Chains A and B, each alone.
Chain A
Amino acid sequence: MVDVGIIGAGQTKYGNHLLSMKGMWAEAARNAFNSVDKDFQPSQVDESYIGSVAFGGSQLGNTAALLTEHSGMKGKPVRRVENACASSGFALRDAWMAIKSGQAEVVIAGGIEKMNDLTPERKRFWLGVSGDTEWERLAGLTFPGTYALMARRYFHEFDSTHDDLVHISVKNHLHGFDNEHAHIRKQVTFDKAKNGFMVADPLTLYDCCPTSDGASCVILAADHVVKQFTDDPVWIKASAAASDYLALHDRPSITQLLATQLAGKKAYEMAGVTADKVDIAEVHDCFTIAELFATEDLGFVERGLGGLFARESRGMKNSGEVCINPSGGLKSKGHPLGATGTGQTVEIFKQLRNEVEKNRQVRDAELALSHNVGGSGATCAVHLYGRSRQ
């Protein structure tokens, strides 16, 4: 079966943008087009998959058509992909499958979200739409609340405290400090992160990712056309995804994400690797507890030892066994919902090609993983990437 390579990838800076959706997408797409080593024209794209929750105050329906006709792909089949915060992780998987199926050779996977052009009330509406509306929302929960319930239960079941989450926050702010695309480029001390404003007890402001505007764009190509565009592709070695109950109250356990476990297991099996071979992992740390869960659910550490993993800074760049969130993760880089999944891929594409800022470069990385979660874990996409095709 055909292999799929990434030939280009680009994004906007994440943060508060003055640009509209069209402007942000154009910037991300332009950066992706320009990152292709050899000649590339958007007219060569066969299909596009754009992830978006359609959060902001502009185009809700037919978003993908609007964006792609503004970036040289008019007339091509396009669609918006929506799976909450995992929208573009699934867009990437759909794009990968389009090439795998033999129906397309060059495919765009991207994502976009405009989050900061709304009033606070409207913003809270959109932040609430991807959880279990009927029961959780009416019990006063938005995502900080659902993840706070998970965190408190985790502390109850295992040897872990909020201090472990503080270590994650400090690490991700450190990683993101030199990332020119990061929303919050600010290092924080342990004490400051520990004593932050309480958002949802026990989670403080420093446990929560920001709401960001941003767009990201990745160009995939079938193995037999990759050489037309680059001699240095990043290969997608596995694409896997899974789902789970939407509502926390239906899950047997709220201290692990089953969708992550299922998707991760499938991805490792597909690539023929184990977790200990992964050098870089961009994981979905919408809240610090989510990164702790990811380190366990993806097999970097045994269940119940995620707190210790964080405490010992084992995810730190160039000092641990695996670098967790070299971009700064959602915590520092930012979280423009629909753009986050392919934004993780942009980071990995550049890391594996040694193209990130010098201070941020993870040394000798060969195998990378991206982990994109929808909501409180109802959906999850995991991808593995390598420098080598085999």
Chain B
Amino acid sequence: MSKVHSWQGYLIQESAGCYSISSPWQLNGKAVFGYDSDYTTMAISLIRYLSIELSLPQICNIDNQIVEQIVYAATGIETVNEGWTVSCNSDASLDLYQNKSAPKIGFENHMKEINPDIHHSIVNAWIEESHEKNISQGAYISQQQYNESLASRLSLLAQRHNKLIWPQRQMDVTGQDIGESKAYIKPFGTITSWTKLSAAGAPSEFAIRAPILGGVSTVMVSTTDGPNGVFLLADDEERTPEIGKSVELVVRRLYAQEGTIRYGAKAIIR
């Protein structure tokens, strides 16, 4: 069995052609999701890991607990007849394998205990927030608008127009059409500013979870490719942001609206 790697806030391990990813958090000996993670975010993270370590895997089967649209938008994979299977486990972990008899991998010695009270509160908050009747009173982004920016938000799709432009625009500052010239910004950068909003000051999309987490942290990032962006901080209960610190942009849950989880890039301090 190979060594356990920390990767984008998760744990990854490989054994006999099976790759597993797990939440680093546990409760009563069982892996549980962190505050903004789920099977979808972990599947994206694992596929990205493999695409760097090997090549973009050909996926033939994705567990129905994973939102395929989000995985496709974030990674660019397409399903094929033969290839890898993404299978969720009964805890906060999942496996990616080609052979059904792949061995079960354990992470127990590498996990951290989660605060049980906060964990239960966050789980319930996501359930409440995800309810169809929870109509956002926050700055409303329609499903159409969200879908339109999904590739920019999840895969960091940009445009090459003299320089890299992200998020995507229709025209440049001189009124010239930018067109379809596609490029991607690398998911790395440096914090240029940051803040932590109190629960009372956070947008109302975050009204249910912010009081539990003591507010929401946002960082402004200058990416290594040039464009700037503002991002929620992932796992912000763990690390304090500072100007100049390096971050990686990873996919996490942002908020829920009208019965749908909205995903996007968040910054994780490296």
Chain B residue at smallest Cβ distance from A251 = B228
Interface: B224 (CB within 8 A) = no
Q: Which of B138, B195, B202 has the most CB of A within 10 A?
A: B195
Interface: A356 (CB within 8 A) = no
Within 8 A of B (CB), among A235-293: 247-250, 254
Task: Select A138's contact among B197, B204, B264, beta carbons within 8 Å.
Answer: B264
Interface: B106 (CB within 8 A) = no
Tally of chain B residues near chain A (CB < 8 A):
38
B204 x A140 contact (CB < 8 A)? no
Q: How far is the CA of A152 from the CA of B204 in the complex (A)?
A: 24
Interface: B107 (CB within 8 A) = no
| B149 / chain A contacts, CB cutoff of 8 Å | 134
Q: Smallest CB–CB gap between B222 and chain A, Å? A: 9
Interface: B206 (CB within 8 A) = yes
Interface: B58 (CB within 8 A) = no
Interface: A124 (CB within 8 A) = yes
Q: How far is the CA of A265 from the CA of B194 in the complex (A)?
A: 31
Task: Select B220's contact among A137, A138, A248, beta carbons within 8 Å.
Answer: A248
Interface: A70 (CB within 8 A) = no
Chain B residue at smallest Cβ distance from A204 = B198
Task: Say yes or no: A136-B230 contact (C-beta < 8 A), given A128-B204, A145-B218.
Answer: yes
A144 x B197 contact (CB < 8 A)? yes
Interface: B160 (CB within 8 A) = no
Task: Select B137's contact among A122, A133, A152, A247, beta carbons within 8 Å.
Answer: A122
A201 x B203 contact (CB < 8 A)? no
Q: How far is the CA of A249 from the CA of B193 in the complex (A)?
A: 11
Interface: B231 (CB within 8 A) = yes
Task: Select B205's contact among A138, A201, A203, beta carbons within 8 Å.
Answer: A138
A140 x B193 contact (CB < 8 A)? no
A152 x B203 contact (CB < 8 A)? no
B197 x A141 contact (CB < 8 A)? yes
Task: Select B229's contact among A125, A135, A198, beta carbons within 8 Å.
Answer: A135
Q: Chain B interface (Cβ within 8 Å of chain A)?
A: 137-141, 145, 149, 167, 192-198, 200-207, 216-218, 220, 227-232, 243, 254-255, 262, 264
